[in-house]
C-alpha cells in the first residue's frame, strides 16, 4: 500500500481538484481529507457517513472562583497572558500547559479536556473516505490530521487497498507536517505566479527536511507562461520531478458547481492530462 499526499504551500492552487481526480482514477483506494480546518473534498465525493467520533485533544485551564484567593501567582507565571485581571481564563490564549494549575497554592485551577472536533468514516462512490471537522476556532489540527491518516491507513490495510490518497492543507506548519510525514510521495500543486513559486519552494524544503519524496504539478500554467518556465527551471535546479502541467479550464469550476470531479464531468484535455499524471505517478510508485 502506498500513500500519496497532495499539498501546495499556497492555498487555492487546486489540491482538492487533483485529489478528487486521483480518487476517481485510482483503483482500490482509501481517501483521507487532511485539510481539517477548511475541508472541501466532501463537496466532490459526497460521503455517506458510516461512523462518527468526537475528537478530544488538549486542555484549558478553568479557575474556580469559590476557591481562588486572587493571589496573582498564576497571572504572574502564565507566559501566554491567558489569565485576566479578574482571574478569568481566555480559552483562545490558553495553551493548556497546566503550569497555573500546578502552582496554584489553593488548588483552584482545574484543567478541562477540550472537544476540538469530530471525525468520520464514510462511503463514497470511489471507496472509503476518512475526514474530519475541526471545531470552530480550535487548535491541535496536527493531531487530528494524524488521527485521520492513521484511520485511513488502518482501513486500507484491512481492505488490502493499494492506495491512500490524502488531501493536504495549505501552509508549512503542524497540519502539513502531520500530513506528509512518512508518505511515499508528496505532490505539490502550484500555479505560475511569484507567490505560487515562493510558497511551493518553502513546502518543498519542508518535504525534503522530513525526507519525503516530492514531485510538482503546475496548474493553470497558461495564465503566465514565463512564470511557468521559471518554475520548470526551478524544478531542474532543485532536482524536483515535474509531473505535469495543467492549463486553465473553466470546466473545472463547472464540474465543481455540479459536485463532480473533472474526470466524470468531461472527456476533454484536462481529464486526459490528469490521467497522464496519475498513470505516470502510480507506475513509478508501485
Partner 1 sequence: MIISVASGKGGTGKTTVSTSLALSIGKDAQILDCDVEEPNAHIFIKPKIEKKESVSIPVPKIDESKCVFCGKCQEACVYNVIAVIPATSERSGKTLTFQELCHGCGACSYLCPVGAIKEVPRETGIIEMGYAGDLEFIHGRLNIGEAMAPPLIREVKKKIDKNKTVIIDAPPGTSCPVITSIQGSDYCLLVTEPTPFGLNDLVLAVEVLKEMNVPFGVVINRADLGDSKTEEYCEKENIPILMRVPFNKEIAQSYSKGIPIIEGMPEYKRSFEELLKKIKEEMKK
Binding site for partner 1 (CB under 8 A): 8-13, 16, 36-38, 40, 43, 59, 77, 79-80, 92, 95-99, 102-103, 134, 136-139, 141-142, 169-177, 191-196, 198-199, 202-203, 205-206, 209-210, 223-224, 227, 250, 253, 256-257, 259
Nearest Cα to Cα of residue 129 among 183, 181, 167, 162: 167
Q: Which is nearer to partner 1, 206 or 214 (CB)?
A: 206
Q: Would you say 119 and 31 are in contact if contact means Cβ atoms under 8 Å apart?
A: no
Q: Which is nearer to partner 1, 32 or 206 (CB)?
A: 206
In whole angstroms, the minimum distance from the beta carbon of 267 to partner 1 comes to: 22
What's the rounded Cα separation, in Å, for the pair 65 and 170?
Answer: 41
Distances, alpha carbon 243 to alpha carbons 33, 97, 185, 187, in Å? 22, 44, 12, 8
Q: Which is nearer to partner 1, 109 or 155 (CB)?
A: 109
Q: How many residues does this entry show for the chain?
A: 286
In whole angstroms, the minimum distance from the beta carbon of 64 to partner 1 comes to: 20
Q: Which is nearer to partner 1, 1 or 97 (CB)?
A: 97
In whole angstroms, the minimum distance from the beta carbon of 36 to partner 1 comes to: 8
In whole angstroms, the minimum distance from the beta carbon of 158 to partner 1 comes to: 29
Q: Encode 178-221 in three state secondary structure.
A: HHHCCCCEEEEEECCCHHHHHHHHHHHHHHHHCCCCEEEEEECH
Q: Please tell me the number of Cα atoms within 13 Å of 277 on its side-chain side.
A: 26
Q: Which is nearer to partner 1, 43 or 284 (CB)?
A: 43
In whole angstroms, the minimum distance from the beta carbon of 21 to partner 1 comes to: 14
Q: Would you say 176 and 167 are in contact if contact means Cβ atoms under 8 Å apart?
A: no
Q: Which is nearer to partner 1, 182 or 259 (CB)?
A: 259
In whole angstroms, the minimum distance from the beta carbon of 120 to partner 1 comes to: 16
Nearest Cα to Cα of residue 198 among 170, 179, 165, 163: 170
Amino acid at each position: 500500500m502506498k500513500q500519496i499526499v497532495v499539498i501546495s504551500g499556497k492555498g487555492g492552487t487546486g489540491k482538492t481538484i487533483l485529489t478528487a481526480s486521483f480518487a476517481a482514477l485510482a483503483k482500490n483506494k482509501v481517501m483521507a481529507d487532511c485539510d481539517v480546518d477548511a475541508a472541501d473534498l466532501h463537496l466532490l465525493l459526497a460521503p455517506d457517513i458510516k461512523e462518527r467520533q468526537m475528537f478530544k485533544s488538549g486542555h484549558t485551564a478553568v479557575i474556580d472562583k469559590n476557591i481562588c484567593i486572587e493571589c496573582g501567582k498564576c497571572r504572574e507565571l502564565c507566559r501566554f497572558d491567558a489569565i485576566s485581571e479578574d482571574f478569568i481564563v481566555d480559552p483562545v490564549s490558553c495553551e493548556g500547559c497546566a503550569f497555573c494549575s500546578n502552582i496554584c497554592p489553593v488548588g483552584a485551577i482545574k484543567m478541562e479536556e477540550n472537544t476540538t472536533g469530530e471525525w468520520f468514516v464514510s462511503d463514497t462512490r470511489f471507496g472509503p473516505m476518512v475526514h474530519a471537522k475541526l471545531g470552530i476556532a480550535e487548535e491541535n489540527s496536527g493531531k487530528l490530521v494524524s488521527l485521520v491518516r492513521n484511520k485511513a491507513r488502518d482501513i486500507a490495510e484491512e481492505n488490502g487497498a493499494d492506495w491512500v490518497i490524502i488531501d493536504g492543507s495549505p501552509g508549512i506548519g503542524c497540519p502539513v507536517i502531520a500530513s506528509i510525514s512518512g508518505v511515499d510521495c508528496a505532490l505539490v500543486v502550484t500555479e505560475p505566479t511569484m507567490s505560487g513559486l515562493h510558497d511551493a519552494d518553502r513546502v518543498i524544503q519542508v518535504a525534503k527536511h522530513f525526507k519525503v519524496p516530492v514531485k510538482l504539478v503546475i496548474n493553470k500554467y497558461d495564465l503566465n507562461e514565463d512564470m511557468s518556465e521559471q518554475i520548470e527551471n526551478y524544478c531542474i535546479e532543485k532536482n524536483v520531478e515535474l509531473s505535469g502541467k495543467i492549463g486553465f479550464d473553466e470546466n473545472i469550476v463547472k464540474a465543481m458547481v455540479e459536485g463532480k470531479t473533472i474526470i466524470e464531468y468531461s472527456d476533454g484535455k484536462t481529464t486526459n492530462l490528469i490521467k497522464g499524471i496519475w498513470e505516470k505517478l502510480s507506475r513509478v510508485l508501485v
